Chains A and B, each alone.
Chain A
Amino acid sequence: MAFELPKLGYEYAALEPHIDARTMEIHYTKHHQAYINNLNNAIAGTDMENRTLAELMTGVSKLPVAVRNNGGGHFNHTLFWTVMTPNGGGLPKGDLLDAINRYFGSFDKFKEQFSNAGMTRFGSGWAWLIKAGDDLKITSTPNQDNPLMDLAETKGTPILGVDVWEHAYYLKYQNRRNEYLAAFWNVVNWEEAGRRFK
């Protein structure tokens, strides 16, 4: 089964002014689509075609680098679109908020550490909030790696992720990654993050 571009749950302009429509359209229709096309090419005619995306991720250290890069790209962007919403922002709820308070001291301290993980990722990559056993952790990965990958330095289940490749913010924020990361909090879909935490 070839992988396909998942439907976006909102319009390209829906996250304005925090993420502009042009960035959304290029990011989704060009970048994400290219990862999917390249992934499909990399697995065509092999037994990798019978594996789920999650299975490819957890065994990626033994697979071709094109699967790591493009499978990661597909997984990460698929997650990214769902953890944002036009009605986002505010505070997480219930168990997730409790866990964040417990592990990071407060929601503000969590935000600060997560933003810092995004700011200090040199080059292209992602910052993550993950569940690792009973722990919540903040981590970051280079390029299109993610914490599900068996080769990740810090492994776990992604709860929230933010893309800090320059293509995610350059048209609107240029060199100001800090402003993009500040704006991200206005569109975070905490309901979705909460589901991923369960």
Chain B
Amino acid sequence: MEAILKRNRLGQWITELQERAEIYAPDFVEDTWEFAKVGRGATVELNHSNTVRPAKRFVFPQREVLYRFRIENSQSPKLTDTEPKVESTVVFGVRPCDGRAMVRNDRVFTCGFSDPYYQARHDNVVFVGLACNAPPSQNCFCVSVGGSPHSEDGLDVLMTELDGRYHVKALTDKGSDIVRSAGDLFQDVKAADMDDVGNAHAIALEYSQRSISSMEAVAAALRRNFDSPIWDKLARACIGCGACTYLCPSCHCFDINDEVTNKSPLTGARVRTWDNCQFPDFTMHSSGHNPREDTGARLRQRICHKLLYFVETHNMQQCTGCGRCITHCPVGIDIVKIANVMEEGVWQ
């Protein structure tokens, strides 16, 4: 289902949707772009460069309570279910790389075993994508990893900005639903509109992006160089923080802890939080042995998971080329550069 929305009607569409859902859209908060809740009557511009934090938190929040527990007088623990009751949510301005990352996250959380927490959130969120008419970050490389600035994967709606209007394409039932429910705001698509969409998409592809020439060659090189000393060299400046993975739209590792709120009776919650392969305790054994002892081994894990292991198990890169891990690394560690160095095999 496709339709045209005049630019000045976007606000009205959002207002109508606010009757039944919480709306999020990129906002310039503290000098960075962030998905923020849209207040009644607030203007949404959709001219953002890529948000610092990706859209994954709408399906995989940094903290999820799995259940609550209470143990009284050494009786067996009483558990209370806390499967999330999620408000209907519509997220505007999702870039295609974040959409494609959602496909990867679905693989992890819903294939074989469906994670009820993830699924409950997923069922209630509508991702409205925005095609990138120009690269929203200087480190974009979606094309190299099989994506495109107007990829539809993982999105419910894809909007493309044209002169004074948006082309709005619903891609799923959830997507059709939010377009249909405000049907009178939209106009039919004419042939000229489709020409403009084609043009906008073609121009977008002409912008130069960062690039990796052959993902197959990179995967092969990674396989060959597991034990190479290059990893220590590449990771020499790495400070071992969590920026690259926490900000990655497809990093999905988590930790589970009990958070005790009262000692007697023992009360608390079992919670799942984001975890991070760049932290030292990620692979720490209780013996004290750590198989990924240094930053070199940890960087290797991150790059290989993205560009090799995920390809081996799911036949797709786990990286969608959003560029966040490059832009936000405090010391310039760059997955594109690493892929190229690996492929070319030039190091001492």
A binds B: no
Give A contacts to B, CB under 8 Å.
Answer: none
Give B contacts to A, CB under 8 Å.
Answer: none
